[in-house]
Amino acid sequence: MKAKDVPPPEIVATPEALHALVAQLAQEPRVALDTESNSLYAYHERTCLIQISIPDRNFLVDPLSLDDLAPLGAIMADPQIEKVFHAADYDLIVLRRDFGFSCANLFDTMWAARVLGWPRVGLASILGEKFGVTVNKKFQRYDWGKRPLSPEALRYAWMDSYYLLPLRDMQQRELAARGRWEEAQEIFAYLSQHVVTAKNTGHAHFWRIKGRRELNRSEQQVLYRLYLWREKAAAKLDVPTVKVLHDEKLVQLAQVQPRSMPALTRLGLSSYQVRRFGRAILQALKAPAVPLPPRPASPPPPPEDVQERFDSLKVWRKSVAARRGVAPDVILPNVALWAIAKHPPRTLDDLLQVPGIGPWRQQTYGPDLLRLMSA
């Protein structure tokens, strides 16, 4: 079925509609999902739309209109229902962060494409090549937090999930024909079981501001006061910090330390920035010094023998990947290489304790890895 023949998406914005959707999804062997967030437009990013497709029907779940999405979480966690995503990492992170969802039985069409060695694995490229669909990339920077959503935005949203089911079936057949189905399944399982949510690192971004190192100690303290002001201003307005003032301007302000509104204009601040934030900036510049935040701890360098084993594993992985025609991390992720380098396995069973290694990778790569680590 072509996209133009598909009924318009069904908006799910009430508890009743959500429960009806969940009842429908519970009868499906697999569902396709995608999410849209407002990271470019809000201080605290949140999931603003969840797209769900089953054959011949598309749903757009509006989390901004619903207080409780727990019923949908039961579908996500159901191991009997396959969840189909493209590049699931980010979607799984935001769904866990915002709603506490976990995912069982994942199929990731981006990773399937990588296992198959497809030259282009972005969804827009795949849709163009496999389905003749052109994706309007302007919606990659759309404000999904605003309401109402435009008809064009709604179409973009449901198309992202609509094609995932036929794409999944196409990839499953190719994976099975090429003997890669078990390998892909191991990767999918690892992705769903190792969702890393972002930790609150305090003011770690301050230490990453470009140009900070060129400032002396006093100027860095001024920069930190400006940084703290910008964080509060962005949080109050609920906008990203760059929409208040870019890092580059913070560094310039810390260097020049202007003392008047006209001086802010001469430094290149827009008339809006001077009018909206000028007085607060001048106050931050004059405020008493505050201690700089603690530097983020850097991990210690690995012991020399561990580093040597890791390097040899990377050489082996690169060689295997070249023969396969895939990227190196399709063979094994870095976390697996480090685990092996730190605690060299002695038996094939030991390998099953390594993150990212399941029975297929154990049998396929295990003998080589054991020989490499015993050399």
Which string of DSSP letters, residue by residue, matches 122-150? SHHHHHHHHH-PPP-GGGGG--TTSSSPP
* pLDDT at 6 (0 to 100): 67
DSSP for residue 87 = S
Asked whether the bond before 240 is cis by omega within 30 degrees of 0, the reply is no
How far is residue 308's CA from residue 337's CA, in Å, rounded to a whole number? 11
Alpha carbon of residue 5 to chain centroid: 32
Task: Grade residue 43 by pLDDT with cuts at 50, 70 and 90.
Answer: very high
* pLDDT at 208 (0 to 100): 94
* pLDDT at 22 (0 to 100): 98
On the question of pLDDT at 1 being above 70, the answer is no
How far is residue 233's CA from residue 256's CA, in Å, rounded to a whole number? 21
Q: In Å, how far are 80, 188, 360, 364 from 181, measured between CA atoms?
A: 18, 11, 10, 13
* pLDDT at 160 (0 to 100): 84
First-to-last alpha carbon distance for the chain, in angstroms, is 56
- CB atoms under 10 Å from CB of 136, counted, come to 13
**187 burial type by CB count under 10 A (0-12 exposed, 13-18 middle, 19+ buried):** buried
Beta strands in the chain (DSSP E): 10-12, 30-37, 47-54, 57-61, 82-85, 106-108
Q: Which domains does the chain have, with CATH numbers?
A: 3-193 (3.30.420.10), 204-286 (1.10.150.80), 304-374 (1.10.150.80)
* pLDDT at 269 (0 to 100): 96
3-state secondary structure of 1: coil
Instruction: Supply 320's token pair.
Output: 């295997």
218-245 per-position pLDDT tens digit: 999 999 999 999 999 999 999 999 999 9
Q: Which of 97, 44, 48, 98 is nearest to 239 (CA)?
A: 44
On the question of pLDDT at 58 being above 60, the answer is yes
* pLDDT at 201 (0 to 100): 67
Instruction: Supply 262's token pair.
Output: 């006209």
Structural contact between residues 314 and 328, judged by C-beta atoms closer than 8 angstroms: yes
Structural contact between residues 369 and 351, judged by C-beta atoms closer than 8 angstroms: yes
* pLDDT at 32 (0 to 100): 98
How far is residue 257's CA from residue 223's CA, in Å, rounded to a whole number? 10
* pLDDT at 196 (0 to 100): 83
| Mean model confidence pLDDT for the chain | 94
Task: Grade residue 5 by pLDDT with cuts at 50, 70 and 90.
Answer: low
Task: Grade residue 197 by pLDDT with cuts at 50, 70 and 90.
Answer: confident
* Amino acid (1-letter code) at residue 374: S
The predicted model gives 44-53 an average pLDDT of 96
CA atoms within 13 A on the CB side of 84: 26
338-365 per-position pLDDT tens digit: 999 999 999 999 999 999 999 999 999 9
130-179 per-position pLDDT tens digit: 999 888 778 888 999 999 999 889 988 888 899 999 999 999 999 999 99
Task: Grade residue 279 by pLDDT with cuts at 50, 70 and 90.
Answer: very high
- Of 126-135, 193-202, 365-374, give the lowest mean pLDDT range: 193-202
DSSP for residue 48 = E
On the question of pLDDT at 61 being above 60, the answer is yes
Share of the chain above pLDDT 70, in %: 97
* pLDDT at 54 (0 to 100): 96
Handedness of CA 324, 325, 330, 335 (dihedral sign): positive
Instruction: Supply 144's token pair.
Output: 């999904």
* pLDDT at 4 (0 to 100): 58
Share of the chain above pLDDT 90, in %: 88
